[in-house]
Amino acid sequence: GEGRAGRQRESTTHCPYCALQCSTVLSGERGGVAVRPSADFPVNRGGLCQKGWTAPSVLAAPDRLLTPLVRAADGTLAPAGWDEALDLVAGRLREIRARHGADAVAVFGGGGLTNEKAYTLGKFARVALGTSQIDYNGRFCMSSAAAATTAAFGLDRGLPFPVTDLDGADVILLAGANPAETMPPLMRHLEGADLVVIDPRRTRTAERAALHLRPAPGTDLALALGLLHLAVTEGLVDQEYVDTRTAGFDAAWEHCTAWWPERVEEVTGVPADELRTAVRMLGGARRAYVLTGRGAEQHSKGSDTVAAFVNLALALGLPGRDGSGFGTLTGQGNGQGGREMGQKADQLPGYRSLADPADRAHVAAVWGVDAKTLPGPGRSAYELLDALGTGAGPRALMVFGANPVVSAPRAAHVTERLRSLDLLVVADFVPSETAALADVVLPVAQWAEEEGTLTSLEGRVLRRRAHLTPPPGVRTDLEVLHALAVRLGQSAGGFPVRPREVFDELRRASAGARADYSGISYARLDAGEALHWPCPAGADGNGAGDGHPGTPRVFLDRFAHPDGRARFTPVDHRPPAREPDAAFPLYGTTGRVLAQYQSGAQTRRVPELVAAAPEVIVEMHPDTARRFGLAEGSMAEVGSVHGTTRARVRVTRAVRPDTVFVPFHFPGAGRANLFTGDALDPRSRMPEFKVSAVRVTPAGER
């Protein structure tokens, strides 16, 4: 609220980082902003992790971008005025489009962008640029979960129930999720349950588990098939639920008849007894949940792996039941909203499909364009990056809210593709590794300087509020897109700069769609209503009145398929794209650490977080360190056929002797993604971040 004399001005908003979207209260002026958790928000209940507590540091980052930068003749990035920079970008975009066609211009977005920005970015690409070439970094995050749950339930909402429902659970199975490290306040909601954790690493979450299953990397699909097999043979299937609420059980069962426990043990390394214990715990619980995270999803078979865990949950009768369920733990701050708003290669706002004539017609009408002019689906994120600057690929790229030089797989190759472009434009608030390669850098506002909405992992739409005005010289992403759209010949009214106006438009674009926001308004959110989508407008059509109460639990009565039934998906196990061999004898896997976030562009600028996690490490088992002649604290090279990462050795029994782990937050030669490859999931187009075949060798200190 606005301060009065003698009272400090405070703003209630949300953390800039992960999808838990902890509520915070900001106070103080620029340079001295203080943060505290708000006590009454049910998700974090007065808790924040180290990243949330220190987030104001990023507002005062010493290398904050405060003026546009344009690549000068001598190759350096030189300060420029806004008009100069925007004229240059629009002129080059027009030129490249005239010479090579509309698809020669591409857009890369981010799962941290507000709903309003993600929506406008999709509209900008399809209307102002007329390109099909737009995708975003959420492809690297949630796409496998989205593909699998859309097929199973007819709808992709990460948690189809509120986070607080987990408080009442007796047993929770976490497959490839490490919330104790990635979103610590969530652990408060898991305290009452016995945890079954599936993870090759002994993570902080696994340390708190009643049972920890440690499969070899890339084998969790076999493990899930084995659990379903045991659910059947142990008589734990909820037959009435399967008969009345699902379809396709027989086909799914056929694929796992051969996955008896001893065979699963052989493939995964998990003892058959532990499998039995796990399925008995889960099947015997009154209230149970199955949750997946990136560990199960970031594979070339990620969507099938999630489907196998969905099958297990369906057989046990969990999804759509009060007090039980299946969910996926979304990662990025607006990972949920970001994947609904139309910055994905195949989607229009509200999860509408670019391939569906009725969906195209609806959105075209809202945008005031002819549906025939809307481009079709484009390339997925990695395929887009891989095609840059090649014969058939885009010649220009605009990046908003992403840092693919660090976060994309096969990073050396992607960096080379970015360098080969005729034009690279990056909008960011700090000079990220990707901005360093740009021809034009546009300085934009960040979290505490802007209004908007985000949709958290539980499908709840939240208000982000501006506590500060952006520093002089800095514009919002919406202002940047507006100015470029106008320069590209669009009407000023087509690209509003006020987030509230954009939100009102996206409500109409999503009306009647699966992710329906039409009944949500800033007024309702500001009045403190807890609104989870779908939230269709009331009979008055504007939804701002006595509107729909929102849908905290989406599948209680029926699933979102036309017949109301969930679908089993028949899936089978297959090995990762590349298994360890004589030359590359170990599994290399990547992930996160508590004190850093994603590509680290923000958290590597926070002194407390740098002190806690200053540099890239490679975790390896003592036997592995001995075998390859590496000592604690020495530098190692972790190499695959794709490239080599330099990291400091941390010897720990938390990893298996056949596996090394490298967090992906660090830049330069320490990028974990230098060794990850380009194998993609055929359905979700998710890269295989979690399994590479690597070797480790000693490296000299630089």
Task: Give, in order, the Cα–Cα distances in Å from 659 to each of 254, 304, 377, 514.
Answer: 32, 23, 38, 41
Q: How far is the CB of 166 from ligand SF4 (least distance, A)?
A: 15
Q: Which member of 26, 35, 48, 314 binds ligand SF4 (CB under 6 A)? A: 48
Instruction: Yes or no: say if 24 and 35 are a contact pair by the CB < 8 Å rule.
Output: yes
Q: DSSP labels for 210-243?
A: SEEE-PPTT-HHHHHHHHHHHHHHTT---HHHHH
Q: How far is the CB of 597 from ligand SF4 (least distance, A)?
A: 7
Q: How far is the CB of 37 from ligand SF4 (least distance, A)?
A: 8
Place of tokens 């009045």: 527
Q: Letter for the amino acid at 227? A: L
Q: How far is the CB of 554 from ligand SF4 (least distance, A)?
A: 23
Stretch that binds ligand SF4, among 47-55, 135-143, 169-177, 218-226 (CB under 6 A): 47-55
The CA distance from 540 to 528, in Å, is 21
Q: How far is the CB of 444 from ligand SF4 (least distance, A)?
A: 20
Stretch that binds ligand SF4, among 17-25, 518-526, 542-550, 579-587 (CB under 6 A): 17-25
Place of tokens 């800039």: 16
The CA distance from 196 to 208, in Å, is 9
- Is 58 a binding residue for ligand SF4 by CB under 6 A? The answer is no
Question: What value, to the nearest 5°, has the Cα angle with vertex 549 and ends 544 and 551?
Answer: 125
Residue 474 falls in which region: left (phi positive, over 0), alpha (psi -120 to 50) or beta: beta
- Is 600 a binding residue for ligand SF4 by CB under 6 A? The answer is no
Question: Which residue's CB comes closest to ligand SF4?
Answer: 52
**Looking at beta carbons only, is 493 or 607 nearer to ligand SF4?**
607
**Looking at beta carbons only, is 46 or 271 nearer to ligand SF4?**
46
- Is 20 a binding residue for ligand SF4 by CB under 6 A? The answer is yes
The CA distance from 537 to 545, in Å, is 9
Question: What value, to the nearest 5°, has the Cα angle with vertex 671 and ends 665 and 672?
Answer: 85
**Looking at beta carbons only, is 52 or 496 nearer to ligand SF4?**
52
**Looking at beta carbons only, is 510 or 598 nearer to ligand SF4?**
598
Report helix, strand or coil for 29: coil
**Looking at beta carbons only, is 180 or 216 nearer to ligand SF4?**
180
Stretch that binds ligand SF4, among 44-52, 368-376, 607-615, 624-632 (CB under 6 A): 44-52
- Is 49 a binding residue for ligand SF4 by CB under 6 A? The answer is yes
**Looking at beta carbons only, is 73 or 611 nearer to ligand SF4?**
611
Pairing of strands 211-213, 288-292: unpaired
- Is 21 a binding residue for ligand SF4 by CB under 6 A? The answer is yes
Q: How far is the CB of 14 from ligand SF4 (least distance, A)?
A: 7
From residue 157 to residue 196, the character string flagging contacts with ligand SF4 as x (rule: CB under 6 A) and all else as - is: --------------------------xxx-----------
- Is 90 a binding residue for ligand SF4 by CB under 6 A? The answer is no
- Tell me the number of residues near ligand SF4 by CB under 6 A: 14
**Looking at beta carbons only, is 332 or 645 nearer to ligand SF4?**
332
Instruction: Yes or no: say if 196 and 278 are a contact pair by the CB < 8 Å rule.
Output: yes
**Looking at beta carbons only, is 52 or 550 nearer to ligand SF4?**
52
- Is 252 a binding residue for ligand SF4 by CB under 6 A? The answer is no
**Looking at beta carbons only, is 88 or 142 nearer to ligand SF4?**
142
Stretch that binds ligand SF4, among 45-53, 351-359, 379-387, 506-514 (CB under 6 A): 45-53
- Is 336 a binding residue for ligand SF4 by CB under 6 A? The answer is no
Q: How far is the CB of 26 from ligand SF4 (least distance, A)?
A: 13
The CA distance from 452 to 465, in Å, is 7
H-helix or E-strand spanning residue 357: helix 357-367
Interacting residues of 511 by C-beta distance below 8 A, sequence separation 6+: 350, 362, 518, 536, 537
Q: Which member of 41, 51, 166, 510 binds ligand SF4 (CB under 6 A)? A: 51
**Looking at beta carbons only, is 158 or 576 nearer to ligand SF4?**
158
Instruction: Yes or no: say if 160 and 459 are a contact pair by the CB < 8 Å rule.
Output: yes
**Looking at beta carbons only, is 184 or 335 nearer to ligand SF4?**
184
Q: Which member of 52, 68, 218, 338 binds ligand SF4 (CB under 6 A)? A: 52
Residue 133 falls in which region: left (phi positive, over 0), alpha (psi -120 to 50) or beta: beta
**Looking at beta carbons only, is 185 or 443 nearer to ligand SF4?**
185
- Is 22 a binding residue for ligand SF4 by CB under 6 A? The answer is yes
The CA distance from 244 to 337, in Å, is 31
Q: How far is the CB of 21 from ligand SF4 (least distance, A)?
A: 5
The CA distance from 344 to 379, in Å, is 9
- Token pair in block for residue 492: 């000023």
The CA distance from 427 to 408, in Å, is 18
End-to-end CA distance of the chain: 52
Kindly compute the dihedral angle of the four CA atoms of residues 478, 483, 486, 490, in this order, to the nearest 10 degrees: -20
Interacting residues of 344 by C-beta distance below 8 A, sequence separation 6+: 134, 135, 136, 138, 139
- Is 665 a binding residue for ligand SF4 by CB under 6 A? The answer is no
**Looking at beta carbons only, is 417 or 467 nearer to ligand SF4?**
467
Phi and psi angles of residue 218, each rounded to the nearest 5 degrees, phi first? 85, 10
Q: How far is the CB of 185 from ligand SF4 (least distance, A)?
A: 5
H-helix or E-strand spanning residue 77: strand 77-79
- Is 15 a binding residue for ligand SF4 by CB under 6 A? The answer is yes
Phi and psi angles of residue 327, each rounded to the nearest 5 degrees, phi first? -155, 165
**Looking at beta carbons only, is 80 or 142 nearer to ligand SF4?**
142
Q: How far is the CB of 143 from ligand SF4 (least distance, A)?
A: 21
- Is 17 a binding residue for ligand SF4 by CB under 6 A? The answer is yes
From residue 269 to residue 288, the character string flagging contacts with ligand SF4 as x (rule: CB under 6 A) and all else as - is: --------------------
**Looking at beta carbons only, is 58 or 318 nearer to ligand SF4?**
58
Task: Give, in order, the Cα–Cα distances in Å from 503 to each of 20, 116, 124, 490, 522.
Answer: 22, 6, 15, 19, 8
Stretch that binds ligand SF4, among 10-18, 97-105, 534-542, 678-686 (CB under 6 A): 10-18
* Binding region for ligand SF4 (CB under 6 A): 15, 17-18, 20-22, 44, 48-49, 51-52, 183-185
